[in-house]
């Protein structure tokens, strides 16, 4: 199991790097997809099969499709790739790299200390964690965290109402004879 | 060791039988369409015209496999592979018979939904990479159609999950020993069937490739075996949806006298023929009608179905 974990992690990191460095937005999004799928596999290995498949259904299957949809509509051509190339100069990299380095050091530190405490980076016995059944997920969602779920539902409702408002049809009168209120 | 060997043989056998089913469906579809439209259909090559399969496959193999110079090469090649791969992966969780099953996942149903949601990429990327306006229009339609119909495809199945208490497909089949779920979940069955036709973009809902308006939609620029992959993906998709309908609503392999695998094959064949009959008899709706139908009728219906099932379930248990 451990070897699969390491391979998947390597794929996740590599694909995420590719997301940042691609000039073509569609290629970048495809790598992001690979990254999401490897994350899903990592969830699965850590014992959360439900979360793993929701990651694929929601993120890879719906949200990323909408991203690609919008980019297709924008019809970005060669010019955008050139512009991206201009923006991704080494000078631009310094700031984000420094910040990411701090996070990386923190992760190493945490991994190191937790290893000392529990005897392994992901030690729950020797497996990669105990599996959480979908029943357990449902119970914690609708008992322990029910307020969070309700609040998220409220937020989504507001978004739906907003979208319905923006997408509302305006009545256009092409001609007084074609007016719906005054049929001929 | 022999267990591993058995497993590998099972996977190889399943791949072989699925791809040959897809090839055979070329002949079945043409003959059945001809029957229902009062024509003869292909009847010259071989017995009953069966060799039309070989002729079609050879033709596809020997056609020039052309990539247009204005296309995005890598994605253009990748797109047809995605549909075949995702559909074939979905078959891994389907229980054909008690012992003929590749992966008995405890979240098998969700795995099927995840794979079918990834199948959208094939159409979207194929249409975008072709760099052709008809292909792009087809891809846009395909993306919106498949995302809309996916929403209630999942919701329509939740009634079955509620009755079984499990996402594992073997459990769902075993729970139908007394009666088939089509009796208790008739609305769920109809909704899933409609969503399945839309997911495989078969004829009443083949808006992404509507040949009378969009040349051939998202695969206008494809030729040779790459086009063949889209074709195989479509036929495998029909087989997949039929197999899922049988597993979820018609008792899977369960049945008297005959061996389980034969029951499964018989029921699945029935639904494949239904898919072909739909193609032979129904006209294509307009694009906005399709979207309206999905969001304004089918989605509320699936929510009501879920609500009623939940209420009855609460009162009886």
Q: Given pLDDT bands bounded at 50, 70 and 90, which one contains residue A180?
A: low
User: Measured between alpha carbons, how far is B305 from B289 in angstroms, rounded to an integer?
Assistant: 23
Q: Do A56 and B114 touch (CB under 8 A)?
A: yes
Residue of A nearest to B73 (CA): A27
Q: Do A30 and B75 touch (CB under 8 A)?
A: yes
Instruction: Decide if B303 is inside a domain.
Output: yes
Helices B224-249 and B133-164, packing angle to 10 deg: 20
Q: What is the pLDDT of residue A162?
A: 92
- CB contacts of B143 in chain A (<8 Å) are 65, 68-69
Residue A103, CA distances (Å) to A6, A47, A96, A98 in order: 20, 25, 11, 9
Q: Given pLDDT bands bounded at 50, 70 and 90, which one contains residue A173?
A: low
Kindly report the nearest CA distance between residue B122 and chain A, in angstroms. 11
Instruction: Decide if B85 is inside a domain.
Output: yes
pLDDT digits (tens, 9 = 90+) for A60-70: 888 888 888 88
The answer to whether residue B147 neighbours chain A at the CB level (below 8 Å) is: yes
User: Measured between alpha carbons, how far is A32 from A15 in angstroms, rounded to an integer?
Assistant: 7
Check residues B71 and B89 and name the one with the higher pLDDT.
B89
Q: What is the pLDDT of residue A111?
A: 73
Kindly report the nearest CA distance between residue A173 and chain B, in angstroms. 21
Check residues A130 and A50 and name the one with the higher pLDDT.
A50
Contact B102, B93 (CB under 8 A): yes
Instruction: Decide if B60 is inside a domain.
Output: no
pLDDT more than 70, % of chain B: 100
Q: What is the pLDDT of residue A123?
A: 45
User: Measured between alpha carbons, how far is B247 from B166 in angstroms, rounded to an integer?
Assistant: 14
Residue of A nearest to B118 (CA): A61
Instruction: Decide if B45 is inside a domain.
Output: no
Within 8 A by CB and 6+ apart from B265, the residues are none
Domain total in chain B? 1
pLDDT digits (tens, 9 = 90+) for B199-254: 888 878 887 777 777 777 788 888 888 888 888 888 999 999 999 999 999 888 88
Q: What is the pLDDT of residue A125?
A: 42
The candidate with the shortest Cα–Cα distance to B147, out of B126, B188, B119, B110, is B119
Instruction: Decide if B193 is inside a domain.
Output: yes
Average of per-residue pLDDT across B165-187: 86
Query: Minimum mean pLDDT among B48-57, B81-90, B294-303: which range?
Result: B48-57
Residue B131: is its pLDDT beyond 60? yes
Question: CB-hemisphere CA count at 13 Å for B162?
Answer: 21
Residue with tokens 């070897």: A3
The candidate with the shortest Cα–Cα distance to B203, out of B117, B291, B110, B275, is B275
Q: Do B110 and A73 touch (CB under 8 A)?
A: no
Contact B245, B236 (CB under 8 A): no
Instruction: Decide if B7 is inside a domain.
Output: no
Instruction: Decide if B6 is inside a domain.
Output: no
pLDDT digits (tens, 9 = 90+) for B77-126: 888 888 888 999 899 888 888 878 888 888 888 899 988 888 888 888 88
Q: What is the pLDDT of residue A150?
A: 93
In terms of residue numbers, what domain contains B229? 70-316
Query: Minimum mean pLDDT among A130-139, A148-157, B58-67: which range?
Result: A130-139
Contact A11, A94 (CB under 8 A): no
- CB contacts of B140 in chain A (<8 Å) are 69, 72-73
Q: What is the pLDDT of residue A164?
A: 87
pLDDT digits (tens, 9 = 90+) for B244-291: 999 999 888 887 888 888 888 899 999 999 999 988 888 888 888 888
Contact B189, B157 (CB under 8 A): no
Question: Structure tokens of B109?
Answer: 């149903």
pLDDT digits (tens, 9 = 90+) for A84-128: 777 777 777 788 888 888 988 888 888 777 655 544 445 444 445
User: Measured between alpha carbons, how far is B295 from A81 in angstroms, rounded to an integer?
Assistant: 37
- Nearest residue, CB atoms, A61 vs list B74, B117, B144: B117
Three-state DSSP class for residue A181: coil
Question: CB-hemisphere CA count at 13 Å for B232?
Answer: 27
Check residues B119 and A158 and name the one with the higher pLDDT.
A158
Q: Do A61 and B139 touch (CB under 8 A)?
A: no
Residue A156: is its pLDDT beyond 90? yes
- Nearest residue, CB atoms, A53 vs list B72, B74, B114: B114
Instruction: Decide if B142 is inside a domain.
Output: yes
């Amino acid at each position: 199991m451990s070897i699969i974990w390491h391979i998947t992690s390597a794929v996740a990191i590599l694909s995420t790097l590719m997301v940042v460095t691609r000039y073509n937005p569609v290629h970048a999004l495809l790598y992001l997809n690979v990254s999401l799928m490897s994350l899903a596999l990592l969830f699965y290995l850590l014992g959360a099969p439900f979360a793993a498949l929701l990651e694929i259904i929601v993120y890879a299957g719906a949200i990323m499709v909408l991203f690609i949809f919008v980019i297709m509509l924008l019809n970005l051509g060669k010019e955008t790739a050139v512009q991206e190339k201009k923006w991704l100069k080494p000078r631009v990299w310094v700031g984000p790299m420094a910040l990411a380095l701090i996070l990386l050091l923190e992760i190493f530190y945490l991994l190191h200390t937790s290893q000392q405490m529990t005897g392994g980076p992901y030690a729950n016995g020797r497996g990669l964690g105990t599996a959480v059944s979908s029943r357990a997920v449902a119970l914690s969602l609708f008992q322990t965290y029910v307020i969070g779920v309700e609040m998220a539902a409220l937020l989504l409702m507001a978004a739906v109402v907003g979208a319905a408002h923006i997408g509302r049809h305006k009545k256009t009168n092409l001609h007084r004879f074609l007016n719906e209120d005054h049929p001929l | 060791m022999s267990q591993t060997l058995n497993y590998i043989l099972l996977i190889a056998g399943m791949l072989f039988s699925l791809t040959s089913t897809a090839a055979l469906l070329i002949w079945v579809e043409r003959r059945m369409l001809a029957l229902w439209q009062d024509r003869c259909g292909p009847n010259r090559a071989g017995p009953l015209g069966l060799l039309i399969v070989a002729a079609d496959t050879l033709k596809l193999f020997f056609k020039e496999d052309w990539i247009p110079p204005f296309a995005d090469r890598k994605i253009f090649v990748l797109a047809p592979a995605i549909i075949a791969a995702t559909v074939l992966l979905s078959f891994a969780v389907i229980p054909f018979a008690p012992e003929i099953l590749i992966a008995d996942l405890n979240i098998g149903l969700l795995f099927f939904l995840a794979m079918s949601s990834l199948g959208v990429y094939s159409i979207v990327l194929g249409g975008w990479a072709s760099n052709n306006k008809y292909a792009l229009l087809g891809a846009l339609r395909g993306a919106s159609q498949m995302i809309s119909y996916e929403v209630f495809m999942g919701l329509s199945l939740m009634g079955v999950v509620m009755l079984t208490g499990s996402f594992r497909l073997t459990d769902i089949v075993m729970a139908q020993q007394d009666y088939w779920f089509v009796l208790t979940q008739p609305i769920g069955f109809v909704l899933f069937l409609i969503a399945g036709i839309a997911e495989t973009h078969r004829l009443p809902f083949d808006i992404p490739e509507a040949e009378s308006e969009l040349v051939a939609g998202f695969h206008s620029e494809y030729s040779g075996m790459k086009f063949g992959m889209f074709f195989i993906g479509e036929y495998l998709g029909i087989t997949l949806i039929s197999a899922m309908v049988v597993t979820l609503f018609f008792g899977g392999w369960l049945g008297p006298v005959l061996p389980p695998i034969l029951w499964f094959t018989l029921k699945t064949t029935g639904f494949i023929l239904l898919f072909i009959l739909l193609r032979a008899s129904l006209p294509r709706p307009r694009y906005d009608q399709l979207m309206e139908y999905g969001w304004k009728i089918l989605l509320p219906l699936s929510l009501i179905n879920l609500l009623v099932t939940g209420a009855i379930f609460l009162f009886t248990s």
